Amino acid sequence: MAQKVEKTANGYEVLLTDGIKLEADYVVLSTLASAAQSILQDPRLDENFDQLITKSLISVYVGFDIKDSELAYDGTGFITTEGTDLKCDACTWTSRKWEHTSKNDRLLMRLFYKSSNPNYERLIQLSDDELGQVALRDIRQSLGITAEPVSCEVTKWHDNMPNYHLQHRQVVESLEQQLDTYYPGVILAGCSYYGVGIPDCIANGEQSARLVMEQASKS
């Protein structure tokens, strides 16, 4: 794991946590913004890095041994409105949105509980089994599914989810300009900057590779 990136006369030296040092012409920092900030250790970048916010999230996958088609609703999920008794912020019908995620057309759902949720501080204290029961109650109350789940997986993302604000794009562009000036050949990548969706991440990976190739062809 990278611990520090230092500029040298011929490029960059990447110090790993096990003490190994690597020489590099180009460095792609595909980490959370907070990790990239720690790796570069440059106060000139802190003002922009500090504006890239992350939040926490609980994700609960629930699978059922019933066909996705038994869910008698159009669409691929819902976002919860204020004033509801549901605890979740949103629910994605994963098996319908991405058919390859579930075998034999079985129903798979994912529920989200954000740190901005008024119930979050209580929810984060619950065990995985208890969170699974919260998710199941939300599913039954909102969609009327009475079947028992055959699988449940809980993931707690602590300060790992980017939280974009209205000035996010300008902050990222300013940071890119600073890197071009102070660290040519160091490229930012990942969801802290360019989107959290799978298509966004794929597009950003391809764009990062193109940037390295373009810069290498000019050197």
Same-domain status, 132 and 61: yes
pLDDT at 33 (0 to 100): 96
Same-domain status, 147 and 74: yes
pTM above 0.85, yes or no: no
Same-domain status, 87 and 150: yes
Same-domain status, 13 and 95: no
Q: Which domain holds residue 110?
A: 55-161
Same-domain status, 100 and 130: yes
Same-domain status, 148 and 59: yes
Report the domain count for the chain.
Answer: 2
pLDDT at 51 (0 to 100): 97
Same-domain status, 42 and 60: no
Q: DSSP per residue over 2-16, as a string?
A: EEEEEEETTEEEEEE
pLDDT at 104 (0 to 100): 86
Same-domain status, 173 and 77: no
Same-domain status, 156 and 187: no
Give the closest residue to 45 by CA, choosing from 207, 188, 166: 188
Same-domain status, 156 and 171: no
pLDDT tens track of the chain, all 219 residues? 899 999 999 999 999 999 999 999 999 999 999 999 999 999 999 999 999 999 999 999 999 999 988 887 889 999 999 888 999 999 999 999 988 998 888 999 999 999 999 999 999 999 999 999 999 999 999 999 999 999 999 999 999 899 999 999 999 999 999 999 999 999 999 999 999 888 999 999 999 999 999 988 887
Give the closest residue to 87 by CA, choosing from 51, 129, 133, 30: 133
CATH of the domain at 167: 3.50.50.60
